[in-house]
Structure 1
């Protein structure tokens, strides 16, 4: 029994070490050490293992349980970025936003239009819009860049393709900066689609053959690491747009990055994560794999107050769930 507990203790310490590595994404970019970013993908498994082992020590009446419980407090905020149970806001919302990667409308463009129309949103951020514009009631949109489109009836002051000079040859990386006049005040909105990893289910589905499975894992990692490094460049451009903005900022879209990743930490600096502030339940927005992947976000300046946040998991019109949030603006 002592040997068994020693093995569990070593395992628990190992999980603590790996979880600490996830937190280092806030400080160490992928071009310096991409493996911390890789760990962020495994955060749900790592934290679940950590919690289970902590309960084991509690039930075993071991003093080390108190140490692991105390150290576990450092991971409360990272957990809230995946699963959250915020109390209801007392604010009255006057701005509604939908962000939705529609996968080119392959699940049914008319159904997507009907769903979005029913939301009666003020701003609709679309990623992977595919061929042809959506026909939305009371909203207009103009596609000036591939993949992304913004629909609104607010006055457009200016718009700019932020990734115009990004010469990585990957058209899946798209980002548009649009300055809008909303209720007599100018806001900068940024519609984001960071570079895709190009990973499909067949590439990550293991079949029990050790040789084939090892090859699959290596091939996936070969795709992940370079994309992490490309994301660093893309996020830096977005960051420059945020930092130079003379207006309050709304950043939304598909980041192809999970919470506690470098992309998340860097983009959210000085901004509010609407899910973290007012979200409830799971933030998982990409459902094509049977694994919790939250990769769609809405970040706002401090002056924009989140009121409600919903990942509508009842809707299967894409491999992403639509994200719907309301805000109070002055």
Structure 2
């Protein structure tokens, strides 16, 4: 029994070390050491096993329980980015939907009906397929096949951040639109970072040792260069966020999970609307049977998140839409 306890203790300590490795994404970029970013993909599993092993020590009434509980506090904020239980009673005056619609392949009319039923003030799409959607009371701003914005408000500025950079290997999108909302200007940033271009068959392991090993190696070969590309794309986007003379709302599909380098650095100096006002799970990509939060809304501190919901009532894409409300000053 002592040997079993020792093995479990070593496993617990190992998981603790890996969890701290995830937090290092805030400081170490993928071009220096990409493996911490790969660890971020496993955070839901790591923290779940860590919690179960802590409960195991509680039942055995071991003093080490308190040590593991103490270190577990370091991962509270990291966990809150995946699962949250906020309730707010503020009155909102701005509703935003961000939605990767996968080129409208699941039905353009169905997407239009869904968006119109929600009566949003702003709709930001990724992978919109350059389709001309018709939304009630919303005007379309400039668009790209990888992103578009529909709004009730006056456009006073616009820039496509990756303009002229698109190639067969560069499939990302980012732009900003300055909008006059209630006599005040806001910068709305829409982002679709470089995709990994995985298919289900490429990531599904089937128990065949050699084939599964080959798949894992191929996955890593795609992950690492894409993470490095994300780092370059974030540097370009951040310039227009940091230099903005207006409060910022950043939305989109980051093709990255919470606690990743992308999350820490693109959302730096902004607040995660889910952390502030979300309830339940933030998982937004449902094509794989694994919790993946890829879609986000970040805002400047002056914009107060009131509610944030991943709408699982519809499957109009491989992503669920994110519906959030905010309180902005008049």
Q: Distance in 2 between matches of 1:30 and 1:196?
A: 16
Distance (Å, rounded) in 1 between the aligned partners of 2:143 and 2:313: 31
CA contact (8 A) 2:249 2:298 kept: yes
The C-alpha deviation readout for 1:207-242, integer Å capped at 9, x for no partner, is: 111000000000011000000000001111111111
Distance across 2 between alignment mates of 1:10 and 1:144: 53
Partners of 2:165 and 2:38 in 1: CA distance = 24
| Counterpart position of 2:183 | 184
Which whole-Å CA distance do the structure 2 matches of 1:131 and 1:234 have between them? 22
1-side partners of 2:143 and 2:17: how far apart? 45
In structure 2, the partner of 1:144 is 143
Structure 1 gap segments, 5+ residues each: none
Asked if 2 retains the 8 angstrom alpha-carbon contact of 1:145 and 1:176, the reply is: no
The aligned runs of 1:1-330 (5 Å cut-off) are 1-86=1-86, 88-164=87-163, 166=165, 169-330=168-329
In the TM superposition, residue 171 of structure 1 has moved relative to its aligned partner by 4.4
Q: 8 Å contact 2:156–2:178 — kept in the other structure?
A: yes
Give the C-alpha shift of residue 90 in structure 1: 2.4
1:299 alignment partner, SS class: strand
CA-to-aligned-CA distance 1:177-211 (integer Å, 9 cap, x gap): 11111111111000110000011111011111100
- Compute the displacement of 1:169 (Å): 4.5
Could you list the per-position Cα deviations for residues 237-264 of structure 1 after superposition, in whole angstroms to 9, with x for gaps in the alignment? 1111110000000000100000000000
CA distance in 1, matches of 2:167, 2:24: 26
Partner Cα separation in structure 1 for residue 316 and residue 193 of structure 2? 21
CA-based RMSD of the aligned residues comes to 1.1
- Structure 2 residue runs of 5 or longer lacking an equivalent are none
Residue 85 (structure 1) shift:
0.6
CA distance in structure 2 between the partners assigned to 1:167 and 1:105 by the alignment? 21
- Alignment length (residue pairs): 329
Preserved CA contact (<8 Å) 1:161 1:177: yes
Instruction: Indicate conservation of the 8 Å contact 2:277/2:307, yes or no.
Output: yes
SS at match of 2:306: strand
- TM-score w.r.t. the length of structure 1 is 0.98
Aligned equivalents of 1:254 and 1:248: distance in 2? 20
Equivalent-residue separation in structure 1 for 2:328 and 2:213 (angstroms): 51
Q: Could you tell me how far 1:165 is from its partner in structure 2?
A: 5.2
Task: State the alpha-carbon separation in 1 of the partners of residues 271 and 84 from structure 2.
Answer: 14
Counterpart Cα distance in 2 of 1:240 and 1:328:
26
User: Secondary structure of the equivalent of 2:256?
Assistant: coil
1:328 CA drift (Å): 0.4
